[in-house]
Amino acid sequence: MLIDNKPVTFQVVSGASANIIPAKIVPGHLTPTSTIIVMWNEARVRSLGTGRMSIHNPKNKNKYSVEFYVVDDNSTPLLGARANQSMGLVTKRSDNFARIAAVAKDIIHTYSDVFENSLGELPEPASLKVDPTVKSHIAHPRRIPLALKEGVKDIHMKAPVYI
């Protein structure tokens, strides 16, 4: 690809949600931003700003206007998923994806007796057998994530108390 008639090699990343370019390549004015970019390895990089640049593809002679987050380090310029798809570098094949809602409806229809609102009954009495050679293990209670705490508190308050 070319930026200001200078060749720039981009890394094409179909899983990235942003386009990144180092400051040394950016020719013009930046719009300030306080965005922190989280990389694939969970490294955090502070963005210097954003800038829209015209990229020329010499192979198909098309020009694209792409918005980049500008970073201070010497990293490889990166094209994210949306830019890749709009440039035709990566295609998304929707025909390879299953419709989850349709699959769920099929399962509910096929096993409708399991999803009724009443309690079911096992065909024969069940028994629990414990292997005496296996050492018992007590799992310590886990902390409840902050996002789920209110919901768990509501369930706990509604639960019947048995004496």
CATH number, domain of 10, equals 2.40.70.10
The tokens for 37 are 């970019």
Cβ–Cβ under 8 Å, residues 109 and 103: no
The count of C-alpha atoms lying within 13 angstroms of the C-alpha of 86, restricted to the half-sphere facing its C-beta, is 13
The answer as to whether 122 is a domain residue is no
The answer as to whether 100 is a domain residue is no
The answer as to whether 13 is a domain residue is yes
Give the per-residue pLDDT at 101: 66
The answer as to whether 62 is a domain residue is yes
Number of domains in the chain: 1
Give the per-residue pLDDT at 163: 41
The tokens for 148 are 């789920």
The answer as to whether 123 is a domain residue is no
Give the per-residue pLDDT at 126: 87
Give the per-residue pLDDT at 116: 75
Give the per-residue pLDDT at 39: 83
Give the per-residue pLDDT at 63: 92
d(CA 29, CA 60) in angstroms, rounded, equals: 28
Give the per-residue pLDDT at 45: 86
The answer as to whether 18 is a domain residue is yes
> What's the domain range around 13?
2-87
pLDDT tens track, the chain, 163 positions? 888 888 888 889 888 888 999 888 887 788 888 888 888 888 888 888 898 888 998 888 899 999 989 988 788 899 998 998 888 888 877 777 776 766 777 888 888 877 777 777 778 888 889 999 999 888 888 888 888 887 777 765 655 555 4
d(CA 74, CA 24) in angstroms, rounded, equals: 8
The answer as to whether 80 is a domain residue is yes
The answer as to whether 121 is a domain residue is no
